[in-house]
Structure 1
Amino acid sequence: WEALVKEEGGRYVAGLPLPVRRKFGLRYLQQPPFAQQLGLFYAPSTPPTSADWAKIGELLHQHFWVITQYAFNTGNTELLGVGQPGLTGVAFTTYHLPMQPAYSQLLAGYKPNRRWRLNQARRRGLRIEPSNDIDQLVRLFAENTAPKIYGLIGEDYEYRMLRDLYAQAEKAGMAELWQARSSADYVIAMILLFKFNRKIIYLFSGASAAGKAAGAISVLLDETFRKYATHDMCFDFEVHDVPGLIEFYSSFGSKKAPFLTITADRLPWPVRQLKAARVALYRRLRPRPAANGA
């Protein structure tokens, strides 16, 4: 990790984290897994100026020929519709659900079909309880979801990183892991939440076929909202741009929260062609995940 920082009076008042990677001697930016948004974080007393944003765009353009993707955060609203000079910008969307209302109000905000499905799920006698078994969550995901995701590396990258993140977040009191048990006492779904700066972030989840059929994730989310209702917090679904997921998360009454992502590719044409050929060869030769998630 590197960073752009703004210093005033001998202290940092703003910082832009930079996930720098290197390949063939080239430094480039690439958004890491489990960090949907980065961007500028700053002290409330020193909000960024238009000159700050222009300087950030200038420095990124100057130091990085390639940005595979870099996401600013939902608090960097000044960039929406404006972008960053010299960089390609696209608006992405996550979904937020404020926790300040009473639970009855939150429940009334669910779409009718979500309330009906939730009632059906609750009739299955699921038991919701805390957990600290991150390996169980990884297994649920690896066996039931990972086989549908092309290009996932697994234990050598994403799962190792997830375990490390959970260990550090739990140590700092920032992580919550919850599971749903069936009436037959099997763990059929789990969710991992991070809490920081009045936000509850829906970081990761996993569910078996039985968990999906039972609507266990809906129950886990509903129990989270029940727990945190009336708190001065906001639940961030960290939605990916997958239509089915968007429909599911928005059914809880959450609202769109846009943020800007930027890319850049200023490599010379011959280098871009070589890079494209290498990626195509890698995708052709890389084995697809087995149906059992192995």
Structure 2
Amino acid sequence: MIKIVKYNSLNVDKYLECVRKSEQYCYQSEIDFLESSNGEDWEFLVEEDYQAVMPVPIIRKLGIKIVLPPPFAQQLGIFSSKDEPYLNQCFFDFLMKKYRVYYYPFNIKNKIEQLHESPNYYIEQGDYQSVKSRYSATRRRNVRLNHKSNSGLAFFRDLEIKAMQAFFYKNILGLKSEKMKNRYYEVLEELYSRKRLKIYGVKKDEKWVSMAAISDFPKERALLCLMNNKSVQSNAASIIIDDVLEESIQNQTFNFMGSRIPAIQDFNRRFGAVVQSYKIIPVSKRRLLKI
């Protein structure tokens, strides 16, 4: 039997045990991520005694409760010891019956029929040299700091988040309003305060040319933000990603967080990343009118 559990009633230990042992584990299911991205505005669909769980992000408009994921919540969905299409369908039907769903993303392991798909790119954990051997020839050459094309570049890791703030607001793409930029940056700040975020950067002539915010959870790292100074042509972004992979790919998968944009897809593929699609309940204003 599936039931709704409010945030304040969640048995956190049982929830975390379920998601961390699940076949579908992804970092967005971690409590640190949920709280950082949406505070206490979560409800949870729970089957029996936490045999399966599904986090549900909530916003309220004019007193109406709506399901809408917060910043960086690319994948959510159902988490259980083994992914079962019948169980997934039960959760899906329950969600659609009980909530007004504006948009909801499942995870790459959730098998659910007749839903739209969205692409994502991953590199599975493994030996760094083996991973690097799958880079394109150009990428393997361009990530070397001593290569002539990278003359004048200086790499930095483990930066303070404040070092990124001005660069973020000036160079982040896809967030058109200051309100949206503020919302996303607040999530990054909260993740950083919980030691779930690392900041990397590359300078040229003492000025930042590329910076990245990488989430850091036990099983998975993810590229939350990658920002570049568009007036400077360099391999800085590739140098950052290569360093992150060298540092962590032995123990953590790497999630590129999308995307559908051809240039970004090409950037990901040149690292040997493979596409893995996840199902989504697509955006719909009509569903919000349900009684």
TM-score with structure 1 setting the length: 0.74
**Aligned residue number for residue 4 of structure 1:** 45
**Aligned residue number for residue 71 of structure 1:** 105
> CA offset at residue 233 of structure 1?
2.5
SS at match of 1:15: strand
Measure, in 2, the Cα distance between the counterparts of 1:154 and 1:135: 18
Aligned match for 1:55, one of 64, 71, 90: 90
Measure, in 2, the Cα distance between the counterparts of 1:58 and 1:13: 18
**Aligned residue number for residue 112 of structure 1:** 137
**Aligned residue number for residue 18 of structure 1:** 56
**1:252-289 Cα distance to aligned partner (Å, 9 max, x none):** 111011111113533559x9xxxxxxxxxxxxxxxxxx
**Aligned residue number for residue 134 of structure 1:** 161
SS at match of 1:100: coil
> CA offset at residue 190 of structure 1?
1.7
Residue 157 of structure 1 aligns with an amino acid whose one-letter code is R
**Are the aligned partners of 2:78 and 2:91 in contact in 1 as well (CA < 8 Å)?**
no
SS at match of 2:72: coil
Measure, in 1, the Cα distance between the counterparts of 2:59 and 2:152: 47
Residue correspondences, number: 246
**Aligned residue number for residue 176 of structure 1:** 198
Segments of 5+ residues of structure 2 without an aligned counterpart are: 1-41
> CA offset at residue 151 of structure 1?
4.7
Aligned match for 1:242, one of 241, 249, 261: 261
**Aligned residue number for residue 187 of structure 1:** 208
CA spacing shift, 1:149–1:267, aligned 2, 3 Å: closer
Report which of the two structures shows the higher radius of gyration computed on alpha carbons: 1
Residue 242 of structure 2 aligns with an amino acid whose one-letter code is D
**Does the alignment pair 1:97 with 2:123?**
yes
Aligned match for 1:222, one of 225, 231, 242: 242
**Does the alignment pair 1:164 with 2:164?**
no
Measure, in 1, the Cα distance between the counterparts of 2:62 and 2:278: 31
User: Where in structure 1 do 4 or more consecutive aligned residues deviate above 4 Å?
Assistant: 119-122
**Are the aligned partners of 1:5 and 1:16 in contact in 2 as well (CA < 8 Å)?**
yes
Measure, in 1, the Cα distance between the counterparts of 2:91 and 2:233: 47
**Aligned residue number for residue 209 of structure 1:** 230
Measure, in 1, the Cα distance between the counterparts of 2:90 and 2:72: 27
Measure, in 1, the Cα distance between the counterparts of 2:187 and 2:47: 29
SS at match of 1:213: coil
CA spacing shift, 1:204–1:48, aligned 2, 3 Å: same
**Are the aligned partners of 2:210 and 2:227 in contact in 1 as well (CA < 8 Å)?**
yes
Measure, in 1, the Cα distance between the counterparts of 2:272 and 2:83: 31
**1:108-145 Cα distance to aligned partner (Å, 9 max, x none):** 21123333443557632422222332233232122123
Measure, in 2, the Cα distance between the counterparts of 1:242 and 1:125: 30
TM-score with structure 2 setting the length: 0.75
**Aligned residue number for residue 29 of structure 1:** 67
**Aligned residue number for residue 41 of structure 1:** 79
**Aligned residue number for residue 258 of structure 1:** 277
Residue 216 of structure 1 aligns with an amino acid whose one-letter code is A
Q: Which piece of structure 1 moves more, 236-245 or 152-161?
A: 152-161
> CA offset at residue 102 of structure 1?
3.7
Residue 179 of structure 1 aligns with an amino acid whose one-letter code is G
Measure, in 1, the Cα distance between the counterparts of 2:131 and 2:86: 40
Segments of 5+ residues of structure 1 without an aligned counterpart are: 84-88, 272-294
**Does the alignment pair 1:145 with 2:172?**
yes
Measure, in 2, the Cα distance between the counterparts of 1:64 and 1:71: 15
> CA offset at residue 19 of structure 1?
0.6
**Are the aligned partners of 2:102 and 2:287 in contact in 1 as well (CA < 8 Å)?**
no
Residue 68 of structure 1 aligns with an amino acid whose one-letter code is Y
RCO higher in 1 or 2 (8 Å CA, sep ≥ 6)?
1
CA spacing shift, 1:243–1:127, aligned 2, 3 Å: same
